[in-house]
Amino acid sequence: MNDESIPRIVIVGGGAGGLELATGLGHKLGKKRKAEIILIDRNRTHIWKPLLHEVATGSLDASLDGVVYSAHAAKHHFIFQLGTFYNVDRLTKTILLAPLLDDRGQVVLPERTLKYDKLILAIGSVSNDFNTPGAQEHCFFLDSVSGAERFQHTLLDSFTRLQQADESTSKLNVAIIGAGATGVELSAELFHVTSLLKIYGLDKVNKDRLNIHLIEASDRILPALPERIATKATMELKKIGVTLHLGKRVLQIDERTIHFEDQTLDCDIKVWAAGVKAPDFLKDLGVFELNRNNQIVVNSYLQVSDDEHIYVVGDCCAFTQENGSLVPPRAQSAHQMASTVKNNIIREYQGRPLQPFVYKDHGSLVNLARFSAVGNLMGNLSSDVFIEGKIARWMYMSLYRMHQQAVHGTLKMMALWLSEKLMRVVRPKMKLH
């Protein structure tokens, strides 16, 4: 039963920032009943978003490797509610949750209203197709677990058909539109899982029958990262067999064809990975100041510019740094924002002044499956440290461990790492269903 005598902190979105924030506030305030912490998400489980490309290829099983919100909430002193946020009334300090429907479209829970004293919006981002004709109808989007799993099922079906087809003439053509981190990592991961198929009876499916086309409108891959990283990643992708199409702007997508200004490309599977934006419904609400990517404009404390009761973290947050640039939509940004908001909410309860958010760029890492990894560390210092190979891959995986540590604590993080090592002995190397 809810206790109306204590303040209520509502967090919308259980991604990297939202889940870390709910866990931290649960231990600091929820455990001692100084506040009621409620986490809202439309899904029942959490997967670290940078790993969605591994869910898409079957390297990671979301049903086994995800965090179950309700179970996690019970252990970490907050409340989880399954639901979809779609409106807010800032005058009455309430949010509106859409009706919850089952797989048959039957109402499980009606529309709900939830009061808050503090509201944190951590609703993440979705793929930005820039209104490209045919993108929504003919492309897979890897901005959610459900989207990644739909791609994985289609990929398995395609591999099965390829196994039965004529080896001399049949190939699988996959186009990935957008050569940012997601597109680059997915292209390498696809070649990696193809090398595993012969273990599971698909011995006629190999990298020679797989054509991966990586398409980018800019003149190089990874346009948001330092050029040295892009150059090294380009060399690695070409080495494993990825075909790069640089400086190519997609005009239209049909069922089997991608149209550029000067040519077309026929493909069996198409993935859109070119850019992100905050969900469109934020614009439809008409209650927040937004930028052109639908991100909510905030002040130096990550509060909505004209409402100190609402904080924003993660990909949906538009925070302008002193140099005029926006904080990039990355996992490390969400982690740092969640830490700042947690500390400031606690400081508010203690009657202490808030501290402004300062983003620290710790560098960028790109994982090319089991083939390699490249990146730079200490990105906001006077000089970067370029790393590659096994060291870069170890650093990349350490980012995930840091997220697990923030969510579970050090001991359970170590236990999860050990259990993953043990499970590799008995589990298939890729998801086959």
> Tens digit of pLDDT for each residue in 275-296?
899 999 999 999 999 999 999 9
Q: What is the pLDDT, as a whole number, of residue 186?
A: 96
Q: What is the pLDDT, as a whole number, of residue 416?
A: 86
Q: Which of 5-9, 34-38, 262-266, 419-423 bottoms out in mean pLDDT, i.e. has the lowest? A: 419-423
19 and 149, same structural domain? no
Q: What is the pLDDT, as a whole number, of residue 302?
A: 98
Within 8 A by CB and 6+ apart from 61, the residues are 55, 427, 431
Q: Which of 26-35, 37-46, 74-83, 366-375 bottoms out in mean pLDDT, i.e. has the lowest? A: 366-375
Is 90 exceeded by the pLDDT of residue 11? yes
Short-list 298, 304, 305, 295, CA closest to 321: 298
Could you tell me if residue 236 is inside a domain? Answer: yes
94 and 13, same structural domain? yes
Q: What is the pLDDT, as a whole number, of residue 131?
A: 94
304 and 173, same structural domain? no
Could you tell me if residue 431 is inside a domain? Answer: no
In tens, the pLDDT along 184-200 reads 999 999 999 998 888 88
- CATH number assigned to the domain comprising residue 266: 3.50.50.100
Q: What is the pLDDT, as a whole number, of residue 397?
A: 79
57 and 26, same structural domain? yes
Averaged pLDDT of the chain: 91
Q: What is the pLDDT, as a whole number, of residue 343?
A: 97
105 and 68, same structural domain? yes
Residue 137 burial (C-beta neighbours within 10 Å; 0-12, 13-18, 19+) = exposed
At residue 380 the predicted structure's pLDDT band, cuts being 50, 70 and 90, is very low
Separation of alpha carbons 347 and 343, rounded Å: 6
Residue 186 burial (C-beta neighbours within 10 Å; 0-12, 13-18, 19+) = buried
Q: For the residues 91-115, what does the mean pLDDT come to?
A: 94
Q: What is the pLDDT, as a whole number, of residue 1?
A: 43
239 and 140, same structural domain? yes
154 and 91, same structural domain? no
- CATH number assigned to the domain comprising residue 60: 3.50.50.60
- Give the β-pairing of 36-41 and 79-82: parallel
Q: For the residues 417-424, what does the mean pLDDT come to?
A: 81
Identify the domain boundary among 349, 373, 392. 349
Could you tell me if residue 18 is inside a domain? Answer: yes
Could you tell me if residue 17 is inside a domain? Answer: yes
293 and 405, same structural domain? no
Q: For the residues 88-111, what does the mean pLDDT come to?
A: 94
Identify the domain boundary among 294, 321, 349. 349
324 and 222, same structural domain? no
Residue 181, φ and ψ in degrees, nearest 5: -60, -40
289 and 272, same structural domain? no
Separation of alpha carbons 320 and 298, rounded Å: 8
Q: For the residues 212-219, what does the mean pLDDT come to?
A: 97
Could you tell me if residue 1 is inside a domain? Answer: no
Could you tell me if residue 297 is inside a domain? Answer: yes
269 and 304, same structural domain? no
At residue 357 the predicted structure's pLDDT band, cuts being 50, 70 and 90, is very high
Q: For the residues 337-354, what does the mean pLDDT come to?
A: 96
Say if CB 374 and CB 385 are below 8 A apart.
no
Q: Residue 218 half-sphere exposure, CB side, CA atoms within 13 Å?
A: 13
Is 50 exceeded by the pLDDT of residue 246? yes
How many DSSP H helices and E strands does the chain contain?
Answer: 12, 28
Identify the domain boundary among 316, 349, 382. 349
Q: What is the pLDDT, as a whole number, of residue 2?
A: 55
Separation of alpha carbons 128 and 125, rounded Å: 9
At residue 382 the predicted structure's pLDDT band, cuts being 50, 70 and 90, is very low
Q: What is the pLDDT, as a whole number, of residue 431?
A: 78
Residue 290, φ and ψ in degrees, nearest 5: -120, 155
Owning domain of residue 409: 135-276+363-426
Q: Which of 57-66, 212-221, 410-419 bottoms out in mean pLDDT, i.e. has the lowest? A: 57-66
Q: What is the pLDDT, as a whole number, of residue 362?
A: 84
User: How many domains does the structure of the chain reveal?
Assistant: 2
Q: What is the pLDDT, as a whole number, of residue 384?
A: 67
Q: For the residues 394-423, what does the mean pLDDT come to?
A: 86
At residue 381 the predicted structure's pLDDT band, cuts being 50, 70 and 90, is very low
159 and 267, same structural domain? yes
> pTM for the full model?
0.91
Q: What residue has token string 């899904």?
A: 43
Could you tell me if residue 231 is inside a domain? Answer: yes
